[in-house]
Structure 1
């Protein structure tokens, strides 16, 4: 009895392959592919074709996924960069505003400092003008004038002291207010014109050297500070002398120098720098001066 044959299709081409390959199979399931193994070759070919198609599809999907991911990253990066640029521009603008405000504040501060310095100078001048008629007597010799509750008694005793030390008679009518403490006597003279007692005492106070009595003009706190600082320089032999005249502090740096006024702290600082440079130059000259040769 003859066998019935049926066509079998490779499972790799069930889904509509272009060239489906078939094999003749008997009713009992045996293949009639032939002795040369053409059926196995067809299966391998179909498998390769399937793998190539899957690889192509997977490669396309992977490329699309990578491209989409890169696009998302680029978008996020552009957004971050745009935000950073905007932030930097805002910060730069605010920094510029802060710098302008700081410059304006510094300008205002300098202006106010200049105005304050002018006001302080004007106030100092007014105070010194009020103290113009005052003289201060100090030193060990003032101990000879006993402390008294009455100003006129102190004035008469001071007159006697001046008479004994300077051989000069004070006019009691020119003496106004008298103040006394443990260390000094402050006297206000009613007139300061040339020929007055105050004028004579200021011009001839050097005659009191060695007597233990010192006479100086009454100064404002600031001018007194300038005078005290210059006295420190004199005690250190850095300047020749310091004195006051009509409330102005003068300094003489050397015997051949003429008096120069010191009216401000800036002038005092300039004097310090001048003395420092002078001292440095003297040291340099001394180091280069010829020395005795050793034989």
Structure 2
């Protein structure tokens, strides 16, 4: 028995053709969309690669500039260090020249001079005190100049500092003026005066044993048995303070008796500077402080 063929109506045939056309349209549109998306991605990838290439070139240029800047900074630091060293050498040389000119000068101070407002009266007072306590008559021909400083002290410049001169005799025998109200000191440059003041503070703190001058140079002894050390600049003072602080404080703490009270410590702190110098300085250092320039 043969199977009968199904006959489609004209409307069904039209729907089938429409579905076929719709499928073909969808396939073609999908292909177009895929192609457009691929082309768009390719363009974006190319733009990204170009941006990355530009960024790498810029980064390389920045790195090169950074290396050049680092090289310039290193060179500038070297030049700055050299200039600083040269400036320090110039300052030291100028300070040395000024100090050489001050070797023939002495500074007179004390409450007796503060009361004298006229330079002539101060000069007369100095002559009388020197004559009375030192048994020495000043030679007017050896006095080159006399200047009253702003702080009330008197600076006298002598013609010579050789052994036997008035300047030499006054400085060697100045200890005999104790109790007269007149003090004699060497004339130091402002730079050396500041260094000497800082070292005196270190001595009061117990970080060094003694400080004195010799021919304008500032010398320091860390302990009673140590050799004198020449201090030429503030940096040496800072190094000396940093190096001496821990050991000195430890020794002072170890030497302190366990039962010592606050009253005994205050009494020890009230000792005169002269007794402290005699206790800390050995004899050869005391002789060095009275050294005569040649």
State the match for 2:100 in structure 1. Answer: 129
State the match for 1:158 in structure 2. Answer: 126
Higher relative contact order (CA 8 A, sep 6+): 2
Answer whether contact 1:216 1:244 (CA < 8 A) is retained.
Answer: no
Question: Does the alignment pair 1:255 with 2:224?
Answer: yes
Structure index of larger Rg = 1
Cα-to-partner distance string for 1:125-159 (whole Å, 9 max, x where unaligned): 11111111000011124357x44354xx6444312
Supply the distance in 2 between the matched residues of 1:212 and 1:290 (Cα, whole angstroms).
38
Question: Does the alignment pair 1:82 with 2:82?
Answer: no
State the match for 1:118 in structure 2. Answer: 89
Kindly report which structure 2 residues correspond to 1:9-20, keeping only aligned pairs within 5 A, or say none: none
Q: Tell me by how many angstroms 1:68 deviates.
A: 1.0
Please, which runs of 5 or more residues in structure 1 have no aligned partner? 1-33
TM-score by length of 2: 0.75
Structure 1 residues 207, 233: CA separation in 2 closer, same or farther (over 3 Å shift)? farther
Paired residue secondary structure (1:261)? strand
Number of equivalenced pairs: 254
State the match for 2:265 in structure 1. Answer: none
- Runs of 4+ in structure 1 off by over 6 angstroms are 289-292
Higher helix share: 2
Answer whether contact 1:140 1:213 (CA < 8 A) is retained.
Answer: yes
Answer whether contact 2:95 2:189 (CA < 8 A) is retained.
Answer: yes
State the match for 2:190 in structure 1. Answer: 221
Supply the distance in 1 between the matched residues of 2:106 and 2:22 (Cα, whole angstroms).
121
Kindly report which structure 2 residues correspond to 1:91-102, keeping only aligned pairs within 5 A, or say none: 91-102=62-73
Paired residue secondary structure (2:188)? coil
Q: Select which of 135, 139, 143 maps to 1:171.
A: 139
Answer whether contact 2:146 2:155 (CA < 8 A) is retained.
Answer: yes
Q: Tell me by how many angstroms 1:51 deviates.
A: 3.0
Q: Tell me by how many angstroms 1:172 deviates.
A: 3.3
State the match for 2:215 in structure 1. Answer: 246
Kindly report which structure 2 residues correspond to 1:253-292, keeping only aligned pairs within 5 A, or say none: 253-282=222-251, 286=254
Cα-to-partner distance string for 1:228-270 (whole Å, 9 max, x where unaligned): 2222233444433322221112223343444322111121111
State the match for 1:16 in structure 2. Answer: none
Supply the distance in 2 between the matched residues of 1:127 and 1:203 (Cα, whole angstroms).
23
State the match for 1:14 in structure 2. Answer: none
State the match for 1:36 in structure 2. Answer: 6
Answer whether contact 1:155 1:175 (CA < 8 A) is retained.
Answer: no
Please, which runs of 5 or more residues in structure 2 have no aligned partner? 260-294
Q: Select which of 87, 97, 113 maps to 1:142.
A: 113
